[in-house]
Every structure is written in C-alpha cells, then in structure tokens.
Structure 1
Amino acid sequence: MSHPRLDRAINQMHPIMGRLRTRRGFFVAVTFSIVLIFLYTTASGSVSPSEWVPDSLRFSKGGSGAASCTPQEYAQGKWVYRPYWTRPGPLTKTDPVNFKVDESLPHPNINMTGPESVLKYARFEGCASSREFHWHLAGDNEGQFDRFPGPLEWEWVPGGNCGKEDGLREWNVEDVLRELVEGGGWLLVGDSVTENQFYSISCLLYPHVIATPDYTLSQWWERDWPQNLYLNPESPLLKDDDTVLLTKHKAAGQGRRKITPPPGFNITSTPLVTFRRVDLFYSEAELKEMHRELHPEFYTEGKEFVLFGDEVNYTLSPDVYLDIFFKPLPEGNYKTLITSSAGHWTTNNFHGYHRESEGADVATSTTGLADSKNPVMGYDGLLQFYGEVVERWANKIQDAFDVHMGKTKGAGYPPGREKEPQAIVRAYLPGHEDCHKIRQPATTIPNYTWNWWNWGEIWKFNRIWENLLKLNEKAGAKPFKNVHFLRIDRPGRLRPDAHATGDCLHIMAGAGVMEGWTHYIWHYVSREVQRLTA
C-alpha cells in the first residue's frame, strides 16, 4: 500500500545519501530517517502523531487550560450494558453510542459452575489479597449463582468532559504501578467498605503485586490487621521491554520502560498500597474528650452521659496513621491518604444520641442548636458533632502536611520531583434495601422504605464534607489546600444489584463500582490536582 508522504520522503533521501561523508551530512541523514519512520508509522495508522510526544513533554491532562474530568462530571454518567466476554479488562472504555455486540461471535457458556467463575466474568486475572477471597467476589453462596454474570456486565460511562480525549485518563496498570512506585503510594484508612476497595485494588493490580498478610495460613485473624500490597519481584514491569518499539503507545523508540524505584525503595518492605481499619477518624478516647469539650450540655450535674453504646469500633488516632503515612523509605513511601467514614456514625453506635422511643437508627429531628441546657438528640445532634469532628480532622491533616513539606521540601529529590501529599475523602456510599431481589442497575437513585441504620442520612454526612472543602470563592483558594472531597457516590447508588451475598451494604469486587473509585482517584491525584493548583 502506497502513502504519498512516505513516497515523497523516500525520493528526498537520494540526494542526501551522497553527503554522508561529512558530519553535517550524516546529521541531516539521521534527521530524515527519523522523519521517515514518523511518516511511515503515522501513515499506516499504527501510531498517532500525538503518541510520539513523551508523556513528560506533553501538556498535562487536566492541567490549566485543558479539559478536565471533575468528580461531578464523572458521577453524572450512566451504566451501559456490555457482555463480559466483549470486555478486554475490568475497566474498559466504551463509546456508548457506537458500541454494539458482535452477534457473529460465539457466545460463551455463562453457567456459573463455581466461585472461580467470578474472576472470568469480572475480567480479573486474579486477586492478590486472600482475605475472605470468595466473599469479596460474591461467589461464596451457591444459592445466588443465578445472579451471574449479570452484575459484572455493566460499564460506567462518565459524563461531561470525562469522555473526551484529554478527560478521564484511560486505565493503564503499567502507568498506575509506575506512579505508585516512583511517585508515592496510597494509605487507605476507613471501615469495611474501604477494606472492600483495598481488595478490589489487589485484583486490579494482579499479578504485579503481592498481598500481606496471607490469610490462608491461619483460620484466626483480626479485622484491624494491617493489609499491604507490595510490588511483585517477578513482575515483567521491572524489566525493560526491548522487543516492541513501534506499536501503539510505544512510539519513538519508547518500548516499555521498566519501573525505576526511588533510592531506598525496598520491594519486600515498601508498600504500594496499605489499608488500616479506622471507623471513626479518631480513637474512641479522643472522641469522648472532644465531645465533652464541645458539648458540655450533655454532662450536666447529676446526669450520667455515655457517648458510645456496645458496638465494637475498630479505629485509630490520626497520630497513629499519620505516623505511618510519613514513614520514610524503606518502610513507607506514601503520598496519598484516602478515607471515607460515615457508616459507623449511627445513633446506635453513638448511643448517647439515641432516643429510646424512636428506635436506635431512625432519623429524628429537633429544631435549633444545642445550648447549655438542651442538648440536640437524634441525627441532628450527631450530625452537628460529626461536622465538628471532621473540621478538626481536616485541619489536623492539613497542618501535618504543611509541617512535613516544610521539613522535607527538596531533600533527597532532584529539582522538580518533589510531590506534595494529598488527602482524598471519598463520599460515603449507603446500602440498598432488598438488594438481592434486584438484578440490574437502577436509572434513578432508589428511595428508602425502612431507612435501615443511617442510610437515609448519609447524604447529610457527605454534604458536611462538601461544604467544608468547597472552594472559598471570596479568597479564591481552597481552605484546605491538600484535602479534597470527591462526590463520586452516584455510580454505586445506582447499583443495588452489585452487593455481596450476605448484606446490602458491601459491594462485590468486579462490578465496576469500587474499580471506578480507584480509577477516578488515580486520575484525580495525577491530573485534577495539577489543574486546581495551576
């Protein structure tokens, strides 16, 4: 097949070849050779012209002046049906308008024969974490096998600018791992739903990561054990790829560059992702002290007030997990702190706010704010305390980041490589009532009939974060520069069909909800933060 640009370049090479005896002529010939390769690869369609520009020299996606993919735009999308066998991976990118199933392709047998089938439906190669392996994949109940592959055949297509070429970053495991190693890892602190996300990440990054602890070695374990993902020493990403130089995304002689860990990085002791169980942002002792200080009206003379009920909370002081976050290499290399917590902020857990006549977790309403004689009970009172707690938390995190940057800025890094730490607060996701009776995504967020636990109030907890961390329009800057709230709960709220087998709060890995959280958080910290600070 002939290409006009290629033919012209070849014809122009003949007179040049005669000047190779001079240094200048040699330089001209090399230059034309590069042009020739460029014209051939772009004309043949194997490489687009933009792919010849190294990532480090491109205009940063999401940077100032570029199209962005904001949390609001990401959340304003829709679930699109896509049979699992048409999806090359767990986070595919589909054009919802033009995509059509090729009915000429042989349809695979979709009968689920055992728990291991879920991995095939989810397009996972495997999962590194061994913690409740089949429970996380919702493959632990044979009575619900008829659900599959249904929940794993939907793809989230975000809205707004996210679908544009320079919008949402396309998921690429190689890029994610390189940035976790070279740019800094993630520390996840939260409750069991955040632990669900950690498990999902262990599937997205498999087989390039290994997980600890190994839960198959013992039948006894605690829910607050630290969990880690480490770079797998056998990962091919630790080796240069010298075999493929001019395929798509590998143009200009840029074969896959091996991951280059920073000085001091240790494959066996430097985590890429860590999960710590933190239900309430603070320890119970700190919350009790904080409550007594902020709300003396609950502790009047002759009145015994107890803040917590009998529920067990797995939680830590921020001092503990900030110490983990700032550990230097080789023990730590974190740059992103990720949290989400509201599920344990119920009037059953915080039993001091409970009204005996109205049930432990029924939303109650009182008017006015607390004064020295009349404490506000029910969820109005608890939400007020929650707002006070998270404001202190955001201040504490930002102050810790500022101190850390002041002490270490530029130390040990070549110029331009210092990366500021970021804290990401993901909007909390409530559950769905009677979820196991539903077999497809909803098109509108379902209403609650019984309002179990605090599910009907979760939007109020999220609104507190939204108001706290929104842009300060008068000052023209964020009040908390390195603390961000991501309102990306809508995709999950539209998935009553995607829950684990035993309850209607936790989400199964592979359904696209938690994988979408991870995808967007990665995009946000690597692209949107640059745009916000430009």
Structure 2
Amino acid sequence: MDALRDALGSWRREPAHYLPLARSSNASTVFDFPPSSLDDPEKRQRRRSRSGSASAGLAAARRRSASLDDDSRDQSPSRLVDADPSSPVDHPHWSRRHRHVLAVVLAIAAFAGVYSLTTPEVLEKARTTVGKGWDRVTGGHFSSTASKESHYFPSSDELPPGASTWEPACSPSTWSSGNWTPLDPPLRPHTSIWDASPDFHAGACAQNWHRGAWYLGVVPPGTEPGVEGEAQADGQWPMSGYRRRAAGYRWQAGSETCQAEVEQPWLAREGDEEDEGTVKLLQDLVDRGAWLIYGDSLSEQQFFSLSCALYPHVRAVWPYPSMSEWRQVKEEHLFLLPDSPLVKSGKLRVPEDWDYDGSPLVSHVRTDHGLAPDELISLFETVHAKSAPRAFTALYPNLTSLPPFSPPEALLTDVETFSPSLDYTLQLFLRPSQYRNISTSISPSYAPSTTPPDALEIERQATRSGSYRALIFATGAHFSARHFNLPFKPEGGPNAQIEFFDLALRELLNRFARALESATEEERSGKEVVVRPTTMGHDDCHDAEGPLAEEDEKKSSWWSWPDMWRMNEHGANIVRDFNHPLITWLDISRPTNLRPDAHTNDDCLHLSAGTGVVEGWTHYMAYWLRERAAWLDQGR
C-alpha cells in the first residue's frame, strides 16, 4: 500500500490552469498538462533520478537476459556487498528455478496491486488526494493556489474570503430538518385546483400552453383544471382526491429563523395584496438578474410552478418547437408584464429603460444529463484513452472494465436524449445577447431542420437585454439503462451508471469553472451556479395517505431510484471536493423525499405543482440567493 500511495501521490500537482478533460472525441484522447504546472525543479530532478534508475535497471535486465547461463561471470560475494543498494544488481548465479519462483512472486504482487486499486480505501484516496492535482480528470478539485498563480478569479475585489463555506442564518440543512404539518382547517372536498394550490393566488398560470393539467396533477389531462369530482364539458376532467389531499400540508421549517425568513413571507397576504415572498423574488430578479434553470422534466416543473406563482405579473414565451409525443420544450422564458399590478402600483421598482420583451426573469433550458449526446459519447471515450493514468481508472473501475462501444454511438439506447450542448447554455448564462446555436448532432429533435430561422430570431430577441444571476442545475433521473447501454445493479450497489454520472458531473463542474474563468469581470459579476439534488420517486405512491416523518430509502426501490440516492450522495461529495467559491451544492431534498403523497396522478416520480413541494425549492433558493448577495455586498 505504501508503494501504491507513493504512486498515487506522484499525481498530486497544483495546476496553473484548468485543463480540458478531452481534446478529441476519439479513443486516442490525449491527457496533457501545461509544463509550468508539473511541480518545482527539485521534484523534477527527483523524477529524472528515478527515470535514470529505471533506465539502468532496464539495461541490466537486458544484460541478464542475454547471459543468464554464462558461468564465467564474476560471482564473488564482494561484488554484492559493495554494490549500491539503490542500483540494480545482476545475479548471474540464479538458476532457472529461481527465476521461475521470482516470476510467480512478481505476478502475484502485480495482481494484488491491480486488485487493490478497486478497494474502497484506494478509491477514496484517489478521490480526495489525486483529485486535488488532476482536476480535469480525477477529483475535479478547485485549487486556490493555482488560481492565484494563473490570475484566476475571484480576486479579493470580486469575492470575499470564505465564499466556499458561507451559509446564511437559515442553512439548507436547518431548513430541511422540519416537517410537513396539516392545514387547519383542512381543504374541503370538491374544492377547486386553485384552492388546492395555495401559492397560486391568481387562479391561472403564465405557461398555459403545455402539459398544464399534468403539472397540476389533474388526470386524465384536460384543457383546464376543474373542481374535484365534478363532471366537465369539452373533455375537461376533475382534480383527484389524491391531489387534493396532497395540498393539505405546509412545510414547517426546522427553526424559528427559517420559518420567519424563508416560509412566512410567502404566507402573509392581506386581501388581494400580493404576498411578501413574491414581491421580494420579483424585485431580486429585476435588480440582481434572472434564474436560468437547467435540467430535465423535474426542473421543468419548477419553471411551470414559477409561472403560476408569479402570475399575473409575468408572461411566458417558448421560442422553439416542442419535441416528441410528450411535447417537451427546448427552452422557455418568463417576462415581466408592464401592466402587472405590482408595476402599476409602484410596489415593484423597475428601471425606466427596462426591456420587457428582451429581459427574461426566469428561463428553463431542457437537458436530460447536462451534456448533449455527442458530448456524452466523447466523455465515455476518455475512460479508454491510452494515456489515461491509473489514478483516473481507479475512480471508474466499472466503466474502464467495459470494452469500447463500436460504433461509439452504441453507448446510447434508442431513447432520445434531449439536450443542447453545454456551451449553448453557458453562452446564454454569461452572454445572453450574443449568438448561440441550439442544434446538435445525433438527437433528431435538435437537428437544424427543427429550428427554423424565425425561431432563432425569436430566441435572439427574447434575450437581447438579458442578465442572469443564477444557473440552477439538476440531473440524475436519466442516468439509467433507459438511456445508456451500461450495466447496473438494481439493488443500488456500485455500477457503471453511477460512475458515468460521477464522470459527467465532474466534467460539468470543470466546464462551469472554465466558462467563469474565461468570462470578463462584468460577465461573471454576481453569478452563482447552484446544483440541486435530483428528486426521488416513491413506490406505490398513490397508496400513500400523507407525508413521511423521516426519509425512507426502502420506499424508493423501483426502476433506477436506488441509484438516484447514490447519485445524490456522490454529487454532494463531488461538488464539495471541487470547492469552487461560485458553485454550490444546495441540499434541500429532504422535504421532497418525505412526500410520497404529492406526485402526479400518472407516475410516482414527478411532483404535482401547487402542493408546496416544488414551491419549497423556490422559497429556499430565493432566500439563499438574496442572503448570499447581501453578504457579498458587505464583503466588497
């Protein structure tokens, strides 16, 4: 183990700047380091010395192989006694039997060394130690020392010390440690869907063109939600009793501070007046910048929820055609309305030159995995790169044990992956007024023919004056056998699906960091990247009669849901180890995990908007980003 530890330790470096994970999309990917990043002259000299010894040993071995049976060689004991113990020594007196024994011993030692690379201790060592040096490929660690050497942000003028460890008065863990309490009085039977959605005061949603009945939990889906148990005309259907019962609870945060600062602002209303939480969020979106929600259908549900909670102050736009029979939307935006009651009354302060048609307040870009299909294929190929070091393969033993796919596209199943390239989203986040191309290869829904010129123009105009504050990212549910031809263990043990999630998340974090590095100070000013855990499904959710008191992983045993628990655990560690001051793992998953009773009516993974579950994400994110901004203002 000491030798292995030394071998792993030799990969520790303080790189002068970040390196791309892969420079090409084929199996001959080269992993390279800038010469200045290797280490100091003394270490380089030690490496040269070791290299010299190794060369001498190789030469000696060649001499031995040519003359092992030559009895004329000097075999005097003095030759061995006087030899430098650090240099190779020939042993011409060894018999063939001795050599065979030595070969067996060396083979056993080699096997033990390879086997040891997959032990939990070594994997943890690789994750926490090697990763600090090879941040592009292994651990994805942010080095403050390297940042200073390469003029990396943030300088003391941009970000105060302690940004990586900062927490507000109500931390994510404290807020999440509360419980769901029943409404008093409870909702009556035959109530409307809007009365069963306490955060949706206006009785409508800005995003009203797409899957609204499904989002709200109305089944079978209809054009407009009706009243529970009441027959509707024109194909409309009532809300279910399951959905009404789900709305009968409110989140009681884990401390008085959390309840007062996070939850109470969304409850305080007088008559038709808007609640304080909505006003504060809208003001922050105007003053500080928009939210860019980047994720799958679970993230899409947060966008829909916001379109209801912020109505009638916002309108929705979707520039691109929808995809597949399920009508997924590639990208959508919420814009402030000039005739909003808050704008008209002056309660919402808006600059006189505000661009109501080109400054989104909230945007959502659909992505199943964070990366486009061709990016996922290139990423998988890195595990088979000939130059990939042992420290890399130690982190991904299940992936590296698999043969390369031929053709490479065989990694993907026939189920289409919905995602633009990550560069597209980062361009939107940092430079929303500039050109970007949403088309990608492989995925039919992102072929150039699916994006007509008029859609590109609508999208360009929609963000011409945009400014984003937060990139809110989540993934996990689509890392499964449904999308990837990778082996997995249904019981939730280590498997290639989870390792591919780990690899993809590290790549995403590195590219987030590189994009922020390459941005100008003005472009990255005030920016935050927030990574949210993925959402758990619950077995037999429609039989649930109410919230759980504590999380129960055993209630999430269907499909790939056990893997999603592991992905969240790994994700928390990976983001923590990355240690970037502008990238945060926001663990607010516990309230969601306690709600088997709040899913949609036709599946047990997605959540019904309006029940307070998805709205809770918004409550805490709004609080966290507001407190973070105030803390940064004080430190500047």
Report the TM range for the smaller structure's normalisation.
0.5 to 0.7
- Inter-partner Cα distance in structure 2 for 1:267 and 1:506: 32
Aligned to 1:285: 374
Q: Considering only aligned residues, what root-mean-square deviation do their CA atoms show, in Å?
A: 3.3
Aligned to 1:343: 477
**What are the equivalent positions in structure 2 for 1:27-38 lying under 5 Å apart?**
none
TM-score (structure 1 length as normaliser) = 0.67
Deviation per CA, 1:308-344: give whole Å up to 9, x if none.
1121110121101111112146342111111110000
Amino acid at match of 2:479: W
CA shift, 1:65, in A, is 11
Deviation per CA, 1:383-418: give whole Å up to 9, x if none.
222212211211211221233243547xxxxxxxxx
CA shift, 1:298, in A, is 5.8
Bigger shift: 214-223 or 198-207? 214-223
1:120 aligns with 2:195: yes
Deviation per CA, 1:102-131: give whole Å up to 9, x if none.
xxxxx985324xxxx111221322211112
SS in 2 for 1:427: coil
1:384 aligns with 2:499: yes
What is the aligned counterpart of 1:311 among 415, 418, 423?
415
Amino acid at match of 1:517: W
Deviation per CA, 1:215-266: give whole Å up to 9, x if none.
999998841332111111210222344xxxxxxxxxxxxxx3x422385x41
1:74 aligns with 2:175: yes
Aligned to 2:536: 430
Alpha-carbon spacing, 1:393–1:217, altered in 2? closer, same or farther (3 Å): closer
- Inter-partner Cα distance in structure 2 for 1:422 and 1:212: 24
1:398 aligns with 2:510: no
Contact 1:76-1:159 within 8 A present in 2 as well:
yes
Deviation per CA, 1:77-106: give whole Å up to 9, x if none.
1001114xxxxxxxxxxxxxxxxx5xxxxx
Contact 1:135-1:500 within 8 A present in 2 as well:
yes
- Inter-partner Cα distance in structure 2 for 1:65 and 1:312: 40
Identity of aligned residues (%): 27
Contact 2:218-2:240 within 8 A present in 1 as well:
yes
- Inter-partner Cα distance in structure 2 for 1:215 and 1:133: 18
CA shift, 1:510, in A, is 0.9
1:129 aligns with 2:215: no
Contact 2:556-2:562 within 8 A present in 1 as well:
no
SS in 2 for 1:506: coil
- Inter-partner Cα distance in structure 2 for 1:380 and 1:215: 36
Alpha-carbon spacing, 1:221–1:271, altered in 2? closer, same or farther (3 Å): farther
SS in 2 for 1:194: helix
Contact 1:69-1:528 within 8 A present in 2 as well:
no
Amino acid at match of 1:156: W
CA shift, 1:183, in A, is 1.3
- Inter-partner Cα distance in structure 2 for 1:348 and 1:65: 38
SS in 2 for 1:118: coil
Contact 2:178-2:251 within 8 A present in 1 as well:
yes
Instruction: Specify every segment of 5 or more residues in structure 2 that has no aligned partner in the other structure, as ranges.
Output: 1-162, 221-236, 267-276, 386-399, 434-462
- Inter-partner Cα distance in structure 2 for 1:196 and 1:404: 30
Task: Work out the number of aligned pairs and report it.
Answer: 396
What is the aligned counterpart of 2:361 among 264, 269, 272?
272
Amino acid at match of 1:238: V
Aligned to 1:294: 383
Instruction: Specify every segment of 5 or more residues in structure 1 that has no aligned partner in the other structure, as ranges.
Output: 1-61, 84-100, 102-106, 242-255, 366-378, 410-418, 473-477
Contact 2:371-2:420 within 8 A present in 1 as well:
yes
- Inter-partner Cα distance in structure 2 for 1:526 and 1:427: 20
- Inter-partner Cα distance in structure 2 for 1:208 and 1:231: 6
Aligned to 1:521: 621
SS in 2 for 1:268: coil
Alpha-carbon spacing, 1:148–1:342, altered in 2? closer, same or farther (3 Å): closer
Bigger shift: 449-458 or 388-397? 449-458
Q: Which has the larger radius of gyration?
A: 2
**What are the equivalent positions in structure 2 for 1:126-525 lying under 5 Å apart?**
126-130=204-208, 131-141=210-220, 145-160=240-255, 162-163=257-258, 165=260, 170-171=265-266, 172-213=277-318, 222-241=327-346, 256=347, 258-261=348-351, 263=353, 265-296=354-385, 297=400, 300=403, 306-326=410-430, 327-328=432-433, 330-351=464-485, 353-354=486-487, 362-363=490-491, 365=493, 379-406=494-521, 408=523, 419-448=525-554, 451-470=557-576, 479-525=579-625
Bigger shift: 162-171 or 379-388? 162-171
Alpha-carbon spacing, 1:448–1:236, altered in 2? closer, same or farther (3 Å): same
- Inter-partner Cα distance in structure 1 for 2:309 and 2:404: 56
SS in 2 for 1:239: helix
CA shift, 1:382, in A, is 2.4
Contact 1:211-1:229 within 8 A present in 2 as well:
yes
Alpha-carbon spacing, 1:66–1:482, altered in 2? closer, same or farther (3 Å): closer
- Inter-partner Cα distance in structure 1 for 2:219 and 2:602: 9
